Amino acid sequence: MTHRVTSMLLLALGTFAAMGRAQEPERPRVRDVGLVVGVFATGEHNAITDVAGVRVGHATVIEGDSVNTGVTAVIPHEGDLYRNPVPGWILVHNGYGKLIGETQVREFGEIETPILLTCTLCVWSAAEALKEYLLAQHGDWKHTVNPIVGECNDGYVSDMWANPVKAEHVRQALESATDGPVEEGSVGAGRGTAAFVWKGGIGTSSRLLPERLGGYTIGVLVQTNFGGFLTINGAPVGRELGRYPFWWALEPQDGGSIMIVVATDAPLSPMNLERLARRAIMGLARTGSYASNSSGDYVIAFSTSESVRRDREKRVPLTQEWLPNPEMSPLFAATVEATQEAIYNAMFKATTVSGRGHTLEALPIEETIELLRKYNSLDWDETLPPQR
């Protein structure tokens, strides 16, 4: 095992072996085992919340053996989002899914509500709860509101047909949202989701550009539920572990989806947020996804920069200074890296979940680390010069 695996991880793995599968210990993030993706440094928490003002909250819903689902909320800034919406874009890479609020975002290029992620058949109840929550904040306020709610199908281990997500779960996710570290794995909207036939879930990562490249921060959060040929820093992990599409001995795995949320403090126009969102799909591809027929692959991107934040009540021409196109390349690269690492974090942190007579097994950490060592996929940062 690589020398960068901490004593805490070794203790956890030893405890795991002693305890069997009845109760899993704390699982590592990928950097805990020396898996470094790309060349840019991460933010303080290596999370979407490294983008100042962004908060994340979860509500996890577990009911007996039939329900494993939840809600994850991403809040772009601490102020009144309706009064001061953020520039935003929604990219539909493969549209087999349900995403409420998409057309208005693509029409106006702005996001006016928190972003919710949940289960496929829960999007309407979650959107209704978000609408009521926001209207209540404004008292007698009479206006429309455009909830942004995306989903992944967790029906393999959860009875999503029972409409298990209620208004109180949406409130819990919104009101528990904080900055700082983000809980990952089998939590919130990721409680019942998969990735590459293993257990998936919520993952996050961030990148901090050097000052000479603008000093901007990119943060990504994912809800994984897709398939493909799991590849980690070039190592064919899925193939080596015997779990990949179209192998005759495996249960067919054509479906699945992913929701990707990209935040940045760079002052970007909706057009460049669309371009940024397209690069998140490149990060997804690097992990081994090929966007299968029934995979709903979406990216929601927004800028938190106060210099480009909208004021809904203004009726005069806006003066906003967008980042010029030639300065976008470092942000593109950072988005690719952060998306890739967020997906790996989701898988590393996810725990085994059973429900409805099925089980989604967690990615085996020890075997995966050995494969990463075999393919020289660890400690790549040790070959980089210091960033300036």
Is residue 303 flagged as an active site residue? no
Pick from 85, 113, 114, 89: nearest CA to 102: 89
DSSP 96-157: -S--BTHHHHHHHSEE-S-EEEEEGGGHHHHHHHHHHHHHHHTTT-------EEEEE--TTT
The C-alpha atoms of residue 162 and residue 120 are separated, in whole angstroms, by 12
* List of residues 6+ apart from 173 with CB closer than 8 A: 57, 58, 59, 70, 71, 72, 73, 116, 188
Instruction: Say which of 205, 206, 269, 295 is annotated catalytic.
Output: 295
What proportions of the chain, in percent to the nearest 5, are helix, strand and coil?
A: 30, 25, 45
Longest dimension (CA), the chain: 67
The C-alpha atoms of residue 58 and residue 178 are separated, in whole angstroms, by 10
* List of residues 6+ apart from 103 with CB closer than 8 A: none
Instruction: Say which of 158, 206, 297, 303 is annotated catalytic.
Output: 297
87: amino acid identity, one letter:
P
Is residue 297 flagged as an active site residue? yes
Is residue 257 flagged as an active site residue? yes
DSSP for residue 41: B
CB burial class (10 A; 0-12, 13-18, 19+) of residue 251?
A: exposed
Two tokens at 382?
């040790």
CA torsion sign, 109 to 112 to 114 to 118? Answer: negative
Angle at 54 between CA 50 and CA 59, to 5 degrees: 110
- Interhelix angle 167-175/123-137, nearest 10 degrees: 60
Q: Where are the alpha helices (DSSP H) in the chain?
A: 7-19, 102-108, 123-137, 167-175, 237-241, 270-286, 329-349, 365-374
Three-state secondary-structure class, residue 376: coil
* List of residues 6+ apart from 80 with CB closer than 8 A: none
Instruction: Say which of 257, 289, 292, 377 is annotated catalytic.
Output: 257
Q: Which residues are catalytic?
A: 257, 295, 297
